[in-house]
Amino acid sequence: MSKSIQQTRAKSSNSTASKPGLVVANFGAKLVVEDCDGVLHRCAGRRKLGTLVCGDRVRWQGGDHQDCAVVEMEARQSELARPDKNGRKKTIAANIDQFLIMASPGAEFSTGLIDRYLITAETLGIQPLIIFNKVDLLEKDQLAEFKQQLAPYEKIGYPVILTSSKTAHGIDALMPFLSNKTSIIVGKSGVGKSSLINLILPDAEARVGEISQATGKGTHTTTTARLYHLPGNKGEVIDSPGIREFGLWQITPPQVAEGFREFRDYAEQCRFRDCLHRKEPGCAVAAAVKHGDISAQRYASYQRVLVSLEETRN
């Protein structure tokens, strides 16, 4: 790859005219913006534009003898945000159309976390895909056990792909899902997000170097979201920083219920219009759980999310 960071050069051009670009990383006040030719530029934001994030389509200007600055942001089609430790909104990425929810075996495995990501995806109207990585570590019977825990998701229409970033198992099945979309890969730290990106994007390592160079930071660790292109410009993948606790941002109990897509058809049959499917009489969702039509695992998870919302509110 001959793409390199644009140096500020003495060259005549209309540096004041704004040009289209794509934010591929953000390090606090500094942004890395990619131009139409794939060249990265270190840009400053403008306070009035607010925080710009990975996936933002912008117009920027500068270059020759001038610092680059983003001057405009296109309206976002979607926005992924979470609360920071003070409960304020922290936007992670924009204009995403697919959520790659990654989990892997081990003590950290939790279907509850998958459910939280799914609620977010449903609330934002973003298509989710579940990736269960590190299958190379599992014996046959262990794998069967995990498959059983993941089966309810396939039953309600979420694709589940078993992968290994080590052996490349499942990559052929995964690739068609990524084409022509902007996907963000989410999951606990250590599940293998960066390893997967390195496997499917041969240039990823080089690009991390380029981005670090563009920001003047020599770090190779994932401290901020970064956007990568699939070969042949057939889609983008954003690697997200390890989100330790995926707090649901400003979500209401009815939205949580909406986030469980298999509840919807039954919810229409509940006696009360505003039924939250807890202990209300005539609840069709609870009845469907009893009859085995809705997974008890998912229903229990739903109840836990409602409780956790109450706890954070009090």
Ligand X SMILES: Nc1nc2c(ncn2[C@@H]2O[C@H](COP(=O)(O)OP(=O)(O)O)[C@@H](O)[C@H]2O)c(=O)[nH]1
Enumerate binding residues for ligand X (CB under 6 A). Answer: 133-134, 136-137, 164-166, 187, 189-195, 242
Instruction: State which residue, 111 or 163, has the beta carbon closest to ligand X.
Output: 163
State the nearest-atom distance from the C-beta of 96 to ligand X, in Å.
18
User: Which listed option, ligand X, Zn ion, Mg ion, none, makes contact with residue 270 (CB within 5 to 8 Å by class)?
Assistant: Zn ion
What does 283 bind: ligand X, Zn ion, Mg ion, none (CB cut-off 5 to 8 Å by kind)? Zn ion
- The sign one gets for the Cα dihedral 59, 62, 63, 68 is negative
Q: Count residues binding Zn ion (CB under 5 A).
A: 5
The half-sphere exposure of 306 on its side-chain side, counting CA atoms within 13 A, is 18
The verdict on 134 binding Zn ion (CB under 5 A) reads no
Q: What pairs with residue 91 in β-bridges?
A: 81
Q: Which does 195 bind (CB under 5 to 8 A by kind): ligand X, Zn ion, Mg ion, none?
A: ligand X
Member of 222, 255, 297, 308 binding Mg ion (CB under 5 A): 222
Under rule CB under 5 A, residue 224 binds Mg ion: no
Nearest to 62 by CA among 96, 138, 11, 111: 11
> To the nearest whole angstrom, how small is the minimum distance from the Cβ of residue 200 to Mg ion?
14
Residue placing its CB nearer to ligand X in the complex, 66 or 167: 167
Contact mark string toward Zn ion, 258..287, x via CB under 5 A = ------------x----x-x-----x-x--
Q: Which residues bind Mg ion (CB under 5 A)?
A: 193-194, 222
